[in-house]
Each structure stands twice: as C-alpha cells, then as structure tokens.
Amino acid sequence: MIDVETPLGPGWWLARCARKLDDRLPRLEDLAARFEGNPPLPEGASAARAAYAAFQKKARLNLAEAMVLAISERLRVRAIRTAVDSGDDGDEIAWGLFRENGLEVEFADVLENMLALGDAYMINGLAGPRQPTITGEDPRQVVTIHDPVRQSQIRAAAKFFHDSDYGMDYAFLFLPGRRWIARRPQAARPTGRVRFDARSWSWDESAGGADGEPTAGIMPVTRFRNRRGVGEFERHVDVLDRINHMILQRMVIATMQAFRQRAIKGDLPTTYPKGHPQEGEEIDYEGIFVADPGALWMIPAAAEIWESGQVDLQGILSAVQDDLKHLAAVKRLPFWIFAPDNQSASGADRANEGLVFAAEDRSTRAGQGLAQVISKALMLAGETERARLDRITVDWFPVERHSLSAKGSAAQQAKASGMPFRFIMEEVWQATPEQIRRAEADRFDDMMTALSGGQASTAGATAG
C-alpha cells in the first residue's frame, strides 16, 4: 500500500497525477479516435443500429488527419547548435544524440501527438554511464503538473502503463531530481487504461522503494504543448461531424434510389376472375410483380404504374463543399488540403500563407521543448558546456517547399547577384548540413580535376 495522505510526498503526487490523467482521458481518447479515422458514427437508423453500422462507417471522412499532417509534414529538424559548436553544420555531438535515439522518426510521432491531442511528452533517461536515452511518450499515458506561476516549470510528472509480458501495471513518478516506480500485478489489461488505487499498489524495492532513486538532478519529463493546449481540429469537431452527416445523407439517398419504389394506382381484384384456371383463389401480387428483366406483368386496363423519381444530389454536394471551405477558412488552411480545386498561382500562394504561419508557430513551440530535451541529454552525457539551454538552437528546414524548377531559377539569380555557394545550398536548395558538406567536397574535386586537366594540356602544348 502507498501512502497518499502525506502532503507533497511521493504517494500524494502520484495520486494527483493519476486523477488528472483520469479526468482528461475521455477527451484524449476521442481526439485520438478522430485522428486515427474512427470518429463517432453519423446518426442514422437507431432501430437497426447493428446492421446500419457498416454503412455508416463508409460516410466518415478523415479530415482530422489531413489537418494535422498538413503541418507536421512541414516540420523537420535540419541541425542542432550549441554553445560549443554553433556553426552552419550544427553540433555533431548533439546531432549524434538526436540520431542515436531515432528521433528522426520518434520526434515526428511526438509532433503528431502534440498537433492532434494538444500535448505530447518526451522522457530522458540513462541506458548506462553517459549513455542518455530519449523516448517519445503518449499523452494518454503521461501527465504533468506545473507551477501555476511559471507553466514551463514541471513540479511532478507520472507515466502509467501495463506490461503484458510480465503481467504488471507500472507507474513512474518523476519529481525534480528523483524517480519512483510503483507496480501491481495485473494479468490482463483489455482496455489499455491503468487506474491507480493506493491500496493495491506498492513501491518497487529494486528502484529505491519509498525513497526512490536520483535522476542526475534533472526533471526527466518534457512537455510539448500545442497552441492553446488543444488539437488542431479540436475546436472544429462540430463542422467535421456535420460534413460526415451530410455525406451519410448523400449515401442513403443514392443507395435508396438504386432500388426505385414502384406502385400500381387503381383498383385491383383480390381474387382471380371467372374462367381463370385459379378462379376464386386469392391473388398473390408479390409473386406476380417480380422485379425481373424478363418478367411480364398483366394489369387491368384502368390501372396505372407509378415509379419514384430521381432526387437531385447537387444541393447536398454543394453543402459539403461549402462546409469544407468554411473549415479551411477558420483554420486558415488552403482549400486543396481538403479537396482538389483549380486556382491561380497567386491565389494558391495567398492560401498557403496561413499554413506557413501556422507551421512556423508550431516549430517555435516544439523547438523550445526539443532544446530542453537535448540539453538534458547532453547533461547526462557529461557535456556540461554543450548543455547550456540558453545557447541551444534547433534549426528547421524551411516550412515552405518549392519545386526543382523554382529552386533552379532562384539559384541562378542568387549566383548572379554574388551570393556565396553555401548560402545558396542552404537557403535556396534547402540542403542538409551533410548534403552541403558533400556538395562542397564534390565541388572541390571538380575544380581540382579541371585544374589538373588544364595543366596537362599546357604541358602537352609546350612539349610539341
């Protein structure tokens, strides 16, 4: 059993973290489901919900993922600079930590969580002496409590998860400079949610028990917070649901019209007339009026066949297009993200401005968090001078990408105006530091080859 009554004790903080995570889990799970393409089903036939569910699923359009990826795909780290090495190529040791921990992929997942769910986390650790580790964390498992005056300061953090291999629930508590591990046996966790009840949990004695263990004087958890702490699509779920609802109506109408309704107007006899082989017997009209291309219907001369007409779907299609345009407007995103649309080059540039500004804003927010993560990793690696947070800079690729023809034209203009080779490679061709170094080496080799060739020609002419 864990003591959760002592104020500011480890059990007290762990219980607070658990309550905060429980309170926000429903919201996070809803956002995650929408991002993964599983939003709530549009309302439909409640009396036949089970049979109707498969039909409803086809009406869901995953615009939430499009809104997130439109920004996250433009956020790519190019280099990391520190106080020791702030050159154009960045700090090789800091960049080595970035790549050794697989952050080219892991950090991309962190950015997606930040943009989709509003928050994301990374945790620093040690795999051995001066071997720092960095992991991206799911906000449905990690939670932080912050100083109310300085939100950038984390007072406590916790991670709750289930290990199916060992049949154990774990809770990691982090306070500045110290870590505790709590656990309880749990054979299965079908829902994936770990709930904390102090009566069934105990501190892990192999990790210091109730005293915990040191974490090299740092708070290992770093939070990445999106603008206003909400997902990119969170404030627009009503519009997304309305679009899915209208798509469902279109599908229902189109499906029902594939089976037109027919009726016969006029009085029909209920029994076969005199002289008919089945005289006096009740007429089975369901057997007579078979919907078959080879069927022949015989009806009285006064009767008239009626068939339902075609419903115009253009109004519904236009309504969906209008909703998409309104969504693009309030998000300040170009309309082509949601639907292909012909527009002029100048119009496309103006539409892209909102996306570019949003990507630059998110890169600034994410860059602060990544700088903290790299600073902690460098500190754990013993690189004290490099770990100075105020001197760490995250260099991003330009968020606006251009075609090869546009880059080539701009490069020629920059060269003609006297711009240096490295500036053209970095700013115009948007090359990585490694690509720039390789290009410079190849350029030097070409110059030496040309020079040696010229000398050989001169020597041949002299000998002749």
Q: Which of 45-54, 80-89, 379-388, 439-448 has the lowest mean pLDDT?
A: 45-54
- The 10s digit of each residue's pLDDT in 44-63 is 555 555 656 777 777 778 88
Helix axes 314-331, 237-257, angle to 10 degrees: 160
- The 10s digit of each residue's pLDDT in 248-279 is 877 777 766 666 677 777 777 778 778 778 88
From CA 202, how far away is CA 224, in angstroms rounded? 30
Longest dimension (CA), the chain: 127
More confident residue, 209 or 297: 209
Strands (E), 284-338: 304-307
Measured at the CA of 241, the angle between CA 239 and CA 246, to 5 degrees, comes to 95
464, pLDDT greater than 50: no
Q: Which residues contact 97 (CB under 8 A, 6 or more apart)?
A: 132, 134, 374, 377, 378, 381
- The 10s digit of each residue's pLDDT in 18-52 is 999 999 999 999 999 999 988 887 665 555 556 56
Tokens of 302: 């006064």
pLDDT of residue 462: 43
Residues above pLDDT 90, as percent of the chain: 44
As a residue count, the chain comes to 464
Q: Please tell me whether residue 169 adopts helix, strand or coil conformation.
A: strand
pLDDT of residue 260: 67
Nearest to 355 by CA among 407, 399, 404, 394: 399
**Per-residue DSSP letter, 425:** I
pLDDT of residue 351: 61
- The 10s digit of each residue's pLDDT in 310-353 is 666 677 667 677 777 767 766 667 766 666 555 544 455 566 77
Average pLDDT over residues 360-387: 95
pLDDT of residue 463: 43
Residue 264 parent element (H or E): strand 262-265
pLDDT of residue 347: 52
Residue 219 pLDDT level (bands cut at 50, 70, 90): very high
Tokens of 173: 């508590």
Q: Which of 113-122, 325-334, 363-372 has the lowest mean pLDDT?
A: 325-334
Nearest to 341 by CA among 358, 324, 359, 354: 324
pTM beyond 0.85: no
Residue 424 pLDDT level (bands cut at 50, 70, 90): confident
Tokens of 48: 């036949």
Residue 387 pLDDT level (bands cut at 50, 70, 90): very high
Tokens of 9: 């004790």
pLDDT of residue 400: 78
Per-residue exposure over 279-293, b if at least 16 CB sit within 10 Å of its own CB, e if not: eeeeeeeeeeeeeee
From CA 346, how far away is CA 329, in angstroms rounded? 17
pLDDT of residue 118: 96
